[in-house]
Amino acid sequence: MDSVSLDTYRLPTDTVPTHYDLKICTDLKDLTFDGAVSITIRFVNDTSTILLNAFELELGPSFVLIDGETITPTDQSLKTDTQRVALSFAKAFSAGSEAVVRMTFRGKISGLSGYFKSEWVHDGVMEYYTGTFFEPTYARRAFPCWDEPALKATFAVSLISRAGTVNLSNMPSYFEGPYNPEQDPLEPSFGTGKDAAEWIITRFETTPKMSTYILAFATGPFAHVEGSFTSALTGKVRQVRVYATPDLIGQAQFPLELTMKVLPMLETMFDMEYPLPKMDILCANGALGALESWGLIVGDPGAFLFDPATGSTATKKRVVDVTSHELAHQWFGNIVTMDWWDNLWLNEGFATLLGSIISEKLYPEWHTAAAAVNLSLKYGLNMDARLSSHPVQVACPDANRVEETMDGITYMKGASLLRMVSSLLGEEVFFKGVALYLKEHQYKNSVAEDLWIALSRTSGTDVGKLMKNWISKTGYPVLTVTEVPGGINVRQNRFLASGIAKAKDDETLWIVPLRLQKINAQRTILFSGREEFIPLDTEQPFKLNASSTGFYRVLYQTEKLNKLALEAAKGIISDMSGLMNDAMALAKADLAKLSAALTLMDGFAATEWYIVLEGIAANISALLDAWWENPNIVECLQRLDRHIFVPLVSKLGYHYDAGESTDTAAVRTLAIKRAAYARDRSVMAELQAQFSAFTANQEASPLRPDLTPVIYTVAVRHGGMKEYDFIWDILKTTKSPAEESHAAFAIGAAEDSVLMAETFGRLLKQNDSNVDWLLAALSANPKSRRPMVQFFKDNYDILQARFETCGFENYSQQPFRLLATVEDYEDTVAFFKTKDTSKFTRSVDQTLEAIQTNIKYLERSTTDISEWFVEWSARHP
């Protein structure tokens, strides 16, 4: 291997793949697969070594075909640490020549990544099927390949499986028939013991040039629903299908129709036809969320399935969001792909933004764009307010650590930055630029700079210069606004959850699109200095960051300025939400008083806009999470909750009217939920009565889907073993992923120590998806939070082994992040010191920083919040 300079992380560029002929034979009975791959490669340099990726595969002998000659390697070694296989040859191949590398391999179908195993219960028996999840670096677990996004090639896939199964891949099949090993001389290894009557082979058309991480295939007893869409650009008709196991297929009509609607919309927005002959979505149990594999999206059933009869609006919103996100990737990500994982944020940020833009277009009554202020924007700003954060464009030399960067910064800050650009340029100009970018880079790879160039050309604004620090630097600014004669002074400093950054961490100056909202008027100023004067009539209402599309916070120095901003924001959902979220964050960072934020929030509480109320509820929840071990403040916050939401329950009642607005229905759901969680007796009694009627006769007294989660929760929280068992039974038997999460959260909400112990005792025996939900639920319940920390510590090794490849870094944050004492901090530091956290050091740092921030918050603001409530209570006896 001396002849090759071995970069530790990237494959050498001596050889590039151009085409894969991939054959996979899946045996669902013994959960193994055999494979053979012929990879056409081109030698870029003279080399006697061929280096590619493979991991957890048992490799058979390989050889190279070149100019009609078969050459076997002198050595073939598989290195586990680098996940590579090296083929060494006696003689060097010369640059410019082409060859075919042939390899055979065998692997186990297991885990949740690579070629993974899904389970379902059929006639009382556990059966299995498969799917693929290759992003970022798991294709190499299914077949040897050049597993890097820039090494694009075409793929011709053939799948062999037992008769009676359905085989799926990115492209449509052009042949399916009995598999006769004798007629397949190239694959003698597949012949052993296979009877042509029992096996089939499905051959798929060749894909366009694409990256390995979006390749997909699956084998199983799939049922499907089918439709089609007509290209908005060419009139061509393409088939759309949603696949699932037969027990779930009844919930597939909604995502099918959604996909049929969204694809032509995206064609128009991108001014580019959908490039493949068909679009399938496969719902596979246990998949890690959803993956945009080209022409065959694979995801957890919860991401796509929706039953209009029993599904809640929240589930429907999620399905629209996720489906649109994955469909947007079919262009942005699949046709044009990031060159390397450091630009993953662009891919994910864009698809996340598109998820919300499509939702807004399809369901304007959901106010999705304004809702983003409480979702992606709020989440991104919170995540990025830590010293341990990272730039969206994060250096990621080691592809095996990409997952660590697939976090809220990548998705939520990424989406928010693109929203900021889009609102600055205007959506139409923005999409013109996106379309230009897609055309110029189709079937190739790109970096963010390429998008900026296209956007600059369509807008005339230097977008690259504007975005430079937003994407390459950690953090974002807080703008401090002071009143001066003739206008205002605006100063920018880096914002941290712990306050304004110290000078050494406060060197970045961002170019801030400063949109100024006045009554019925807006204007935009690009602010790039440390401090600037802006002429303005400070007797009239004004607010910076109009529509809250900017990725920054604004601190108004005086009560007068706060009042003017509040006045300017009135009636604009996004501005009201943005102001409130800023006020709470500034208070937590000690830049303003928490009491001032509470007063502002109280001032908006009379609204009936769902999104504003949802923001208020989330802020109260955040305070409950902060003071969860202070019973007096918990009681005050619950009183505030009841004060805001019980009157809404009284006004709106429990009945959902078919003709009412989505907003009214959403407010009712929220109000009932908040009142119940804040333990309002009459609301709890009503929900318990509904639960009793439901358990007595489910058909006669079905639960309203929107209320199911809170009804289950109240039933378990205030019930005994009977209610607990009833809900546990739902958790174990439900076919609905949403129902599964509702049941898990109800189980996790138990406050009775016997029930809690029961849950901990059963936890690890459950399937992965149940474990996932239960861990989150037990961490969310203040009563089980400390036991959960202990359970996590006690079972750390088991959990890590089980979830290592699927988001273990998140599990490692969940139980600890709300701890708020110095002792907790020290314990947590000491605990992680004893563990190998090398794959998620950043995640551990974030947890520790969160605990420290919590400690300071309580030290600083406990008196302030207590005093505010004394005064508030006097006003609301």
Stretch in the footprint of Zn ion (CB under 5 A) among 351-359, 523-531, 596-604, 673-681: 351-359
Q: From the CB of 412, what's the least distance to Zn ion, in Å?
A: 12
Q: From the CB of 399, what's the least distance to Zn ion, in Å?
A: 17
Among 356, 719, 734, which residue's Cα sits nearest to residue 549? 356
3-state DSSP call for residue 31? coil
Distance (Å, whole) CA 230 – CA 201: 31
Strands, DSSP E only, in 44-74? 47-53, 58-59, 63-66, 69-71
Distance (Å, whole) CA 848 – CA 386: 11
Q: What does the block give as tokens for 7?
A: 């970069």
Nearer to Zn ion, 103 or 351 (CB): 351
Stretch in the footprint of Zn ion (CB under 5 A) among 127-135, 247-255, 345-353, 664-672: 345-353
Stretch in the footprint of Zn ion (CB under 5 A) among 139-147, 197-205, 343-351, 648-656: 343-351
Q: What does the block give as tokens for 784?
A: 């089980």
Opening angle at CA 693, ends 683 and 679, nearest 5: 20
Stretch in the footprint of Zn ion (CB under 5 A) among 342-350, 555-563, 564-572, 621-629: 342-350
Distance (Å, whole) CA 477 – CA 491: 9
Distance (Å, whole) CA 353 – CA 299: 19
Q: From the CB of 433, what's the least distance to Zn ion, in Å?
A: 20
336 touches Zn ion (CB under 5 A): no
Nearer to Zn ion, 351 or 771 (CB): 351
Distance (Å, whole) CA 291 – CA 351: 12
- Per-residue x/- track, 197-236, Zn ion (CB under 5 A): ----------------------------------------
CA dihedral 714, 717, 722, 728 (to 10 degrees): 90
703 touches Zn ion (CB under 5 A): no
Nearer to Zn ion, 376 or 517 (CB): 376
Within 8 A by CB and 6+ apart from 102, the residues are 36, 37, 38, 39, 62, 63, 64, 65
Q: Is 325 annotated as a binding residue?
A: yes
26 CB burial (10 A radius; 0-12, 13-18, 19+) = buried
Nearer to Zn ion, 345 or 868 (CB): 345
Stretch in the footprint of Zn ion (CB under 5 A) among 349-357, 450-458, 475-483, 601-609: 349-357
Nearer to Zn ion, 348 or 739 (CB): 348
- From the list 187, 292, 326, 723, the catalytic residue is 326
Looking at 25, 262, 303, 351, which residue binds Zn ion (CB under 5 A)?
351
Q: Which residues pair with 177 in a beta bridge?
A: 201
307 touches 250 (CB < 8 A): yes
Sign of CA dihedral 531, 532, 533, 536: negative
Among 807, 852, 847, 853, which residue's Cα sits nearest to residue 831? 847
Measured at CB, which residue is nearest to Zn ion? 351
327 touches Zn ion (CB under 5 A): no
Q: From the CB of 548, what's the least distance to Zn ion, in Å?
A: 24
544 touches Zn ion (CB under 5 A): no
Element holding 709 (H helix, E strand): helix 708-717
Q: From the CB of 469, what's the least distance to Zn ion, in Å?
A: 25
Nearer to Zn ion, 351 or 637 (CB): 351
Q: From the CB of 615, what's the least distance to Zn ion, in Å?
A: 26
Stretch in the footprint of Zn ion (CB under 5 A) among 141-149, 172-180, 303-311, 347-355: 347-355
Q: What does the block give as tokens for 660?
A: 């009412």
Query: What is the C-alpha R_g of the chain?
Result: 28
Among 11, 291, 340, which residue's Cα sits nearest to residue 150? 340
CA dihedral 818, 820, 824, 826 (to 10 degrees): 110
Opening angle at CA 735, ends 734 and 741, nearest 5: 60
Strands 84-93, 531-535: pairing kind: unpaired
Q: Is 428 annotated as a binding residue?
A: no
Nearer to Zn ion, 402 or 652 (CB): 402
Q: Is 441 annotated as a binding residue?
A: no
726 touches 734 (CB < 8 A): no
Nearer to Zn ion, 348 or 849 (CB): 348
Q: From the CB of 17, what's the least distance to Zn ion, in Å?
A: 24
Active site includes 127?
A: no
354 touches Zn ion (CB under 5 A): no
**Number of chain positions touching Zn ion (CB under 5 A):** 2
Q: From the CB of 214, what's the least distance to Zn ion, in Å?
A: 11
Binding site for Zn ion (CB under 5 A): 348, 351
Binding residues for Zn(2+): 325, 329, 348
Binding residues: 325, 329, 348
Please give the positions annotated as active site.
326
